[in-house]
Structure 1
């Protein structure tokens, strides 16, 4: 029985592209794993506290940090909704990372999370792809790829719906066709990647 750890971090519960795409991923995952388990954390609705000196000193002995680390280690796969806020990840997602990554426990070459597949839905209102004017402002994929692979040894894959503000910003109206294409592609990738991951874990 495979376990998927699903994290959402978008502020708004409705109308969030990252939430909609992660939901599509989960729906396909459940179809492929009807007897599997999905552990869900809504980091916006139920935010974790910021890391403090006491928790750092306690490490995995801290009740919350230990529970979060165990939850992550028990997951066969991880799904993260990570919309771009001010060029970076939501603070609630950063708080989860700070709490769950424990040097000497799950961070390093012997990490129990090593090899765990992590799918990140990195939505953003504009485009920060290679060759765009704001390419250098992209700190969501760059950061998450480095911290998840570099500290935990996880395998990271991205789904990137872009230009999500095109329909609501008049100045972006000419980009609506590109936004619609990106959204369609994101949902297609969510379905395909969920199926592929399910098949991989069932093998």
Structure 2
């Protein structure tokens, strides 16, 4: 049995393309692998807190030294990290906002990138602790940000996600990018059709 963590980050509901596509991936996977366990977290409708000063103090100090205030400050982060590490694979639905990710997803990333939990600092430097796992990241974008597009240089979404997840050791990542969603009906229909085909291929190979 494989444990999958499915996360959506769009504040939209039925109008969200990233939600629709991530749901299609998970539903398709579940149809092929009914024995697998899927946990779901909706960051768009139930955001997690941003880090604050007590969180930083708790994150960079030994748990046995924590006051009740610091214990509470890091509690949600501990829950999120435990959930993240319990999964073998991840499915993320992430719309592009202002060439990058929504603040809801950034707040989540800040909560789970933790010293001695998801990365280590040792004499050799920084080392990711999240190893042997896979992720599919399904994005929705208003414009065309493919390598051949003049907008390609503005894509800070995929490079950032590859960098931050790679930093904690998660390097086996497949991106399915639905581009051109606000460039007219024909472009949107074609892009969504291509994304759905990529989802089916990913399910078969994942």
Query: Normalized against structure 2, the TM-score is what?
Result: 0.85
The CA deviation at 1:152 is: 3.1
Q: Which whole-Å CA distance do the structure 1 matches of 2:158 and 2:5 have between them? A: 19
Aligned to 2:188: 179
Determine helix, strand or coil for the equivalent of 2:95: coil
The higher radius of gyration belongs to: 2
Aligned to 2:174: 157
Tell me how many residue pairs correspond in the alignment. 189
Give 1:136's match in structure 2, choosing from 141, 149, 153.
153
Aligned to 2:66: none
Aligned to 1:42: 42
Give 1:97's match in structure 2, choosing from 109, 113, 124.
109
Aligned to 2:98: 86
* Structural RMSD (CA): 1.7
The CA deviation at 1:177 is: 3.2
Q: Which whole-Å CA distance do the structure 1 matches of 2:88 and 2:110 have between them? A: 21
Runs of 5+ consecutive residues of structure 1 not aligned to the other structure:
168-175, 198-203
Determine helix, strand or coil for the equivalent of 1:121: strand
Runs of 5+ consecutive residues of structure 2 not aligned to the other structure:
64-73, 121-125
Determine helix, strand or coil for the equivalent of 2:38: strand
Deviation per residue, 1:129-154 (Å, 9 max, x gap) = 11322111111101001111123333
- Contact kept? 1:6, 1:41, Cα under 8 Å: yes
Decide which moves more: 128-137 or 76-85: 128-137
Q: Following superposition of structure 1 onto structure 2, how do residues 5-154 of structure 1 map, counting pairs within 5 Å?
A: 5-59=5-59, 61=63, 62-108=74-120, 111-154=128-171
Greater fraction of residues in strand = 2
Determine helix, strand or coil for the equivalent of 1:163: coil
Decide which moves more: 148-157 or 90-99: 148-157
Query: Normalized against structure 1, the TM-score is what?
Result: 0.86
The CA deviation at 1:35 is: 2.0
